[in-house]
Structure 1
Amino acid sequence: MFSTAGLFANLKCPRAADCDRLNCLFSHADNIPPEPPLDIPLASSSSKPIVPAKRPTMPSPTSTAVRSPAIGEPPRKMVKLGGHTAVPAPQASKPTVGVPTLKIHPMQSQVPIATRQSMLKVIYERFRELYSSILPANPTLASEHALRQEEELYNSSSKAGYSMAVIHYAGQIKRRPKPTNINHDSVGTKADIAARAEQKKSLKALTLTKANLQRYVHPIDVLSSWGYIVDIPQGPGGDVSSMDGQTVKCERCCNNFMVLAPPGDDCTFHWGKLHTTRINGERARVRTCCGKTASESEGCTTGPHVFYESDPLVLHSRHPFSFLPSRSPDRKTLDVIALDCEMIYTTGGMRVARVSLIDGAGATIFDEFVKMDEGVAVLDYNTRFSGVKPEHLQRATHDLAGIREKLHALMDEETILVGHALDNDLKTLRIVHRTCVDTALLFPHPHGAPYRKALRDLTREHLGVVIQQSSSNGHSSAEDASVTLDLVRWHFLNRPPPKYKSPAAVGTTASPTPVSARAAVSPASPSVAPASMSIARSSPLGGPLPLASSSAC
């Protein structure tokens, strides 16, 4: 045995005389002093009991108490999902460039998040291939549509059928025709395409009648303030049909020239308009035709000199104006007609070359080319914008007088004519009409009069349709008349009839320059109007100049 250290030598053995250990660690001597009493004071009844400090317990995951956020971590919203379970609220997934990431709490999804993320990648790859030609201008489009499409498929399928639904629809995306612009029918999720098809169906099913369009007809003072001719100009009319052999100012290059037919390619000009952009971080006005500034080049295109006239008296002298005939039971005229014309440059100024009419149900009822009057020769077919070619007029059988007789069989003074910048079409037809619905006024420019939105911008914004995109075939009056009618249909279904105000009522001049949205030109100086505006400059006789002539004189 080891010897003891004697640590208990001064302590009396608890067993005293009964101890039977041979080597007891405690003392058995009689002179060991007694132990001092242990005096523990009792707490009074009025004082609170002393509870020993302990580490606080954390609430269990199933507790209804909200967990305290970690130090440095912002608090997260909590959402109750039934019972007494609280989980973080879902965060919206934001579209990015590349494969998007789902931000969904696992407790909110019946399908594992890893499975949904892999299916999302499949959908994204299909959209990325489909949008290959439009992604440079819209880099987040594939990601945005992939997120929405995955959510649509998840909400419309069961847990067991989710993966098959995604794979099946990914194959459908692959079979879509590749879009060439953001408003193509192939762009969008399944719900987007269905909604667009339903809108088109509702538009085509609506037949515009005199009863439902009566409140849309513009007052005569409004028509007059926007440049409409509401009375026949004075004079015999038709006394000077051509300016052949006369000297006038070229509408393109602003130089004086003698009107001769056939013309020569003596004019150098820009056919595009000026728009504002940034070059090396600075604002600059550049041409849409060649990308050059106004000071860099005098022209990028050569062609014949042309001239444009807008004075009512001058137009009346080229070919007389007249009202439409009064309503007669002998003629089956229509209550609503959408009208659009294409114009070309001639020795008699700008003349109508094609007329298209659409009835209130959307059917084409008239679409013919117009032969030039006797003594009037063509200077420029302006095919880039008009779509008219020499072979079209070679097979035309009626001149303007003959076309007007055919129009009189379809419309009268009570017919509601629908068009975009309709005043220009009526002027070139030499028709005075006071019952009109003009989409340029129905959908006003945000900057007010005298600015007008372009027809192609309105159709893209409200109908999701892209028009006037061909650089070789030009515009189509039949297409323009059809989409104009659809715009009125859209307005009738989605908006109340507007309250019209004349330009003079909104702080402009009493006789503003009328603007053709199909032939609008931005002002030469950025200080005149912002780049987003489109306004025609004035010709020597006052009035708008077409898009083909964008150089400032």
Structure 2
Amino acid sequence: MFPSLSSLHNVPCPDEHACTRPSCIFSHTLGHYSLPELDIPLTQERPKPSTSTQPHTPPPVIPHKRPVPVSPPGPSSFSTTSTRPVEPPRKFQKVGLQSRAFPVASGATHTDTGVPIIRVNPALSHTPIPTRQAMVKTLYEHYVTLYGPLHKANPSLASEHALRQEDEVYQKSTKGTYRVAVIQCIASIKRREKPTSVSHISVGTSAEVQDKLEAKDSLESLQLSNELLEPLIHSKEELVKWGYIVDIPPGEGSREPSREGKVAKCERCTQPFQVKRMEEADECTFHWGKALMTRVAGEKTRVYTCCSRPAESEGCVHGPHVFYESGPEDLHARHGFSFLKPPDPSRKTLDVASMDCEMIYTTGGMRVARVSIVDGSGKEVFDEFIRMDDGVHVIDYNTRFSGVTRENHSKAPLDLAAVREVLNSLLSSETILLGHALDNDLKTMRMIHHRCVDTALLFPHRAGPPYRRSLRDLVKEKLGRIIQLGTGDITAGHSSLEDAVATLDLVRWQIINCSKPSASTPSTKPSTSSSTPA
């Protein structure tokens, strides 16, 4: 049986364009011909055979496709050869999901009871929002219990940490494990130690507490030694440049311990006054804060940090007139300078020590009232209050910054000379001393030492010398701790023991995180008053 005639539709007609059949069973598709000279549109009727007797001339070849008009040059760096769309219609495109946006809790609003309200996109949450809100409420209640007195002073702390803790658990769990993970987290919160300050290691989410523990272990496990600290020791030239006294000043030491009855310039109000002991001192009105540049009503002006008043305003607090001396000869006249003794094989001295002092105003200028020393591992080796020399009387304990009160200072057993003898059994001229603004501590201790590592020089102020960053700011930035909070009372002041440990940890942080020390540029304007905390 013959195949269907439609199978001949793909066979070129043998008569080609001379074909006269009205319904030819062969193919007359233009693609089967090769006529390069002729461009015949697809809609043009096929030419009829000529009846002329002239010799037959083969028709020109028709191209396979009609020419495509060239698009004008556009901003694209490539051109297409077809007028068809470059991409399929949108409904046929395979549209993939964008990167997943994890829900982030926001504590912008709270319930009447203080419980933060979680704000997330329900479509992106694998756990129902009511369930998550219930878990936030439970976490918040346990954080309030954990923080105790801290919650009253910092009411937003528990709220922020509850939201962060819930999101932290959510990111690590699935719909099936979420509830159990939150319950386990609450159990760990219950086991935490009650914090005593916002910088306590128990404050924060589980991940934050774990990071604090690891950082603390890393610091405490580093035993500072001469080998580690030798590259950080400042040269004698650097010490001289930044106000260290490197040689004993001329003149007889301790020749004039007190200036009681003499006229001096008040460190607080800059007015001349007669130096008198606390019980007889004249009153001074002053600002205990710094005058810093700020903008008020769009204009730059200097205001005091203590009361936010303009720099030209009257003082905001009252206290006695005091004076401060920084010249080497004056300091030497009040109490003589001396070097630490050389190493002695018969006594064991520390290779590394971190020292900090607290000072008060006296009739002999600013004098040391407490000194604290820890060894290279952070262990306390000395912490004592120091009573004044004979003939020297207290004018102001400056408790706001020194932390020294009449009660604790009255129990001081030793004067400065006796304390220096004790320190000679702990330190030697080869001991590497660490400190922040260590030049001030050495001056008030009347101690001359050349092997020093000063964190004020290791971490320069961005404004450059003579400014330097405060110890509190450095500890907060580098160690994530807050120091110099006292007991919560603004008059509680600093703790020299806490500052000595913080300085040691800053040096540890520098060694762990930096292969080379920062430029040894001190970053602080030399302090001229104990009312400016280091």
Fold-level similarity (TM above 0.5): yes
Q: How far apart, CA to CA, are the structure 2 residues paired with 1:437 and 1:450?
A: 17
Equivalent in the alignment of 1:149: 169
Tell whether the 8 Å contact from 1:344 to 1:380 is kept in structure 2 after alignment: yes
SS in structure 2 at match of 1:357: strand
**Aligned partner of 1:91: which letter?**
A
* 1:482 counterpart = 2:501: yes
Tell whether the 8 Å contact from 1:237 to 1:320 is kept in structure 2 after alignment: yes
Distance change in 2, residues 1:188/1:149 (3 Å): farther
Task: Kindly state the Cα deviation for residue 327 of structure 1 after the two structures are TM-superposed.
Answer: 0.7
Tell whether the 8 Å contact from 1:352 to 1:370 is kept in structure 2 after alignment: yes
TM-score w.r.t. length of structure 1: 0.71
- CA deviations 1:345-386 (Å, max 9, x no partner) are 011100011111101111111111111111111111111111
Q: How far apart, CA to CA, are the structure 1 residues paired with 2:91 and 2:382?
A: 75
- CA deviations 1:56-79 (Å, max 9, x no partner) are xxxxxxxxxx997689xxx99x7x
Alignment of 1:76-115 (within 5 A): 86-94=96-104, 96=106, 97-98=108-109, 99=117, 113-115=125-127
Q: How far apart, CA to CA, are the structure 2 residues paired with 1:177 and 1:293?
A: 44
Tell whether the 8 Å contact from 2:258 to 2:363 is kept in structure 1 after alignment: yes
Task: Kindly state the Cα deviation for residue 221 of structure 1 after the two structures are TM-superposed.
Answer: 0.9
Task: Kindly state the Cα deviation for residue 301 of structure 1 after the two structures are TM-superposed.
Answer: 1.1
Identity over aligned residues, as a percent? 45
Equivalent in the alignment of 2:474: 458
The match for 1:44 among 28, 35, 38 is: 28
Q: How far apart, CA to CA, are the structure 2 residues paired with 1:351 and 1:441?
A: 24
Distance change in 2, residues 1:360/1:501 (3 Å): closer
* 1:350 counterpart = 2:366: yes
Distance change in 2, residues 1:398/1:179 (3 Å): closer
Q: How far apart, CA to CA, are the structure 1 residues paired with 2:321 and 2:363?
A: 10
SS in structure 2 at match of 1:370: strand
Task: Kindly state the Cα deviation for residue 204 of structure 1 after the two structures are TM-superposed.
Answer: 1.5
Alignment of 1:467-478 (within 5 A): 467-470=483-486, 471-478=490-497
Tell whether the 8 Å contact from 1:250 to 1:305 is kept in structure 2 after alignment: yes
Query: Relative contact order (alpha carbons < 8 A, sep ≥ 6): 1 or 2 greater?
Result: 1
The match for 1:271 among 288, 292, 296 is: 288
Task: Kindly state the Cα deviation for residue 443 of structure 1 after the two structures are TM-superposed.
Answer: 1.5
Equivalent in the alignment of 2:433: 417
Distance change in 2, residues 1:224/1:68 (3 Å): farther
Task: Kindly state the Cα deviation for residue 430 of structure 1 after the two structures are TM-superposed.
Answer: 0.5
* 1:229 counterpart = 2:245: yes
SS in structure 2 at match of 1:115: coil
Equivalent in the alignment of 1:433: 449
Distance change in 2, residues 1:298/1:178 (3 Å): farther
**Aligned partner of 1:475: which letter?**
H
Alignment of 1:200-215 (within 5 A): 200-215=216-231
Tell whether the 8 Å contact from 1:324 to 1:412 is kept in structure 2 after alignment: yes
Equivalent in the alignment of 1:286: 303
Alignment of 1:174-253 (within 5 A): 183-253=199-269
Distance change in 2, residues 1:353/1:70 (3 Å): farther
Tell whether the 8 Å contact from 2:275 to 2:281 is kept in structure 1 after alignment: no
**Aligned partner of 1:377: which letter?**
H
* Number of residue pairs matched by the alignment: 440
Bigger shift: residues 234-243 or 245-254: 234-243
Task: Kindly state the Cα deviation for residue 136 of structure 1 after the two structures are TM-superposed.
Answer: 5.5
Q: How far apart, CA to CA, are the structure 2 residues paired with 1:392 and 1:182?
A: 26
- CA deviations 1:272-331 (Å, max 9, x no partner) are 222345545555433232232223x31111111100000011111111111110111111
Q: How far apart, CA to CA, are the structure 1 residues paired with 2:532 and 2:216?
A: 36
TM-score w.r.t. length of structure 2: 0.74
* 1:330 counterpart = 2:330: no
Q: How far apart, CA to CA, are the structure 2 residues paired with 1:287 and 1:137?
A: 28
Tell whether the 8 Å contact from 2:362 to 2:392 is kept in structure 1 after alignment: yes
Gaps of at least 5 residues in structure 1 are 1-37, 51-65, 79-85, 107-112, 504-513, 516-534, 537-543
Distance change in 2, residues 1:122/1:273 (3 Å): farther
Tell whether the 8 Å contact from 1:122 to 1:170 is kept in structure 2 after alignment: no
Task: Kindly state the Cα deviation for residue 411 of structure 1 after the two structures are TM-superposed.
Answer: 0.3
Distance change in 2, residues 1:283/1:187 (3 Å): farther
Q: How far apart, CA to CA, are the structure 1 residues paired with 2:515 and 2:364?
A: 42
Equivalent in the alignment of 1:402: 418
Q: How far apart, CA to CA, are the structure 2 residues paired with 1:42 and 1:265?
A: 126
Distance change in 2, residues 1:387/1:148 (3 Å): same
SS in structure 2 at match of 1:340: strand
Task: Kindly state the Cα deviation for residue 496 of structure 1 after the two structures are TM-superposed.
Answer: 1.8
Bigger shift: residues 284-293 or 180-189: 180-189
**Aligned partner of 2:28: which letter?**
S
Tell whether the 8 Å contact from 1:183 to 1:465 is kept in structure 2 after alignment: yes
Tell whether the 8 Å contact from 1:126 to 1:174 is kept in structure 2 after alignment: no
